[in-house]
Each structure stands twice: as C-alpha cells, then as structure tokens.
Amino acid sequence: MKRLFSCFLFLLTCAQAGEPRPLLALPGKILHESKLETTPGAPWRAAKGKWELSNGAWLGAERPEDKHGAVIRLPVQLKDFIIEYEFQWQGARSTSLSINAVKDHMARINLTPKSVTIQRDDHDHEGPDKAVVFARFSAELAPGVWHKVRLEMVGDAMTGQVDDMAAWGSDALFSQMKAAPGFTVGGQSVAFRNLVIREATLNPEWDKRKAELPRPGQMVAPLAAKKGPGKGKKKVAP
C-alpha cells in the first residue's frame, strides 16, 4: 500500500510538472549525472573516434583512419535503469545509445536524421544470433536542434523514446546484467548533453501504458537505400 501511494504521488507530480507519463519504469536514485560540459575523460573510455568539448557539450566524430564509428562508454554495470540525455546533429549520418551485456552487445536506440530504431542487438556477431528490430519510425530529426532520448530497461523489457516517438520490446537477454552504456557516432559530428542514469522499478501501470504503444514489430519502416555497392556484414561498434 505504501509503495502504491508513493507511485501515485510520483505520477501526480509528473502531471503537475507537465512531464510525460512514465512508460515501463519509475525513476529512483541517481546513479550517474553529468551535463557533459567538461572535456571527455575518466571514468568514460573512448574506444574510437574523436571526443572533445565544444560549446559546452560533448562532440563526437568519426575519424576516417579508424574505419569505424566513434564510440565512448561508461564502464559500469546496471540492473534496472533509466537513461536520459539530449543530442544534436552537427553533420553526422548516425548515432546511437548502446547498451552491452557483460559480454557482447545487448540493445540500442539507433538514430539517423530520418529514422529512429529501437532494437535488441545481435549478441554474437558472426554466429546464428541476429538483431531484432522492435520498431523503426520514419522521422525528421532536424540538425541544430536538441532532441531528447530516453531508454528504460526493467527485467526482460525495454522502452525507447526519442522526442515523442516511443516503442517497447522484450527478450530474455535483457534479464542479464547490463553494462557499459555508451554513445556512438557515424560520420561528423554529434553533440551530447544533460545525461542522467537512474535506478528504476517497474511502473505499476506498465500494462496500460504498453497497450498504448505499437506492438513489437508492428511499426517497422523500411531503411533508406544505401549508396554504393557495400557488401558484407556491417562492422559493429565495440
């Protein structure tokens, strides 16, 4: 009863503040918070690309000599959580919020200026496993504008939200410990700011909220045709 009353107060506070209603998760204690207004460095680890401070925000860009997208990760392990941040296109062709399992990839929100994809990742690269797209929205994510991203993972479920586009999916893989949340950038450049990672608990109204979202696989817009011959399996960000 006490927990239900606390949930009610939280939902009421959100409504009064004009914030969007919770989806899968209710936020708890802050685990990591940064405005990303200082030069990228520890505890973050940049695996590829160029990461710098520009106009009070992080700026990530792919380096041609890497032959790989830019990647920066926070080396922490997470159970149930919510991640929120903002990004701004400054010429790049793609970016993502990527979540790893303790070994290999788990899930991501993948973004281009024309699309938002919410998916379970290929977990073994060259093996039989394949990525599962829960939703792909056609979008117009304008450059020079700050867009909001929110990822929630509780138990075996996840929700992804970019501005007002949201979808969900579930997979047994998500019940494992999550690790190393990070940003990727394809091309040059993307700015990032206002990152918050919080503990999360299941929203008692999740079944109701889930019914308002597209079913996994229901809304999958086609990918834009790629230019050039481009053969072989695409290299996956570390």
Query: 6-59 pLDDT, tens per residue?
Result: 444 344 334 334 466 789 999 999 999 999 999 999 999 999 999 999 999 999
Distance of CA 38 to the CA centre of its chain: 22
With a cut of 70, say whether residue 235 has pLDDT above it: no
What tokens does 135 get? 């939703």
Q: Which residues contact 107 (CB under 8 A, 6 or more apart)?
A: 98, 99, 119, 120, 121, 151, 153, 158, 174
With a cut of 70, say whether residue 177 has pLDDT above it: yes
Q: Does 14 map to a domain?
A: no
Q: Does 13 map to a domain?
A: no
Range of the domain at 184: 23-211
Q: Does 9 map to a domain?
A: no
Q: Say what the pTM is.
A: 0.87
Predicted pLDDT of residue 227: 53
Q: Which residues contact 111 (CB under 8 A, 6 or more apart)?
A: 87, 94, 95, 96, 117, 141, 149, 162
CATH number at residue 168: 2.60.120.560
Residue bearing the bigger pLDDT, 99 or 128: 99
Predicted pLDDT of residue 164: 96
Q: Does 10 map to a domain?
A: no
Q: Does 150 map to a domain?
A: yes
* pLDDT tens-digit map of 181-215: 999 999 999 999 999 999 999 999 999 999 999 99
Phi-psi region of 47 (alpha: psi -120 to 50; beta: other; left: phi over 0): alpha
What CA–CA distance (Å, rounded) separates 226 from 2?
54
Counting the structural domains of the chain, the total is 1
Q: Does 226 map to a domain?
A: no
Residue carrying the six token digits 């149930």: 80
Q: Does 11 map to a domain?
A: no
Give the percent of the chain with pLDDT over 70: 85
Q: List Cα–Cα distances, 85 to 12, 14, 36, 90, in angstroms.
A: 23, 18, 10, 16
With a cut of 90, say whether residue 62 has pLDDT above it: yes
Q: Does 228 map to a domain?
A: no
Predicted pLDDT of residue 13: 39
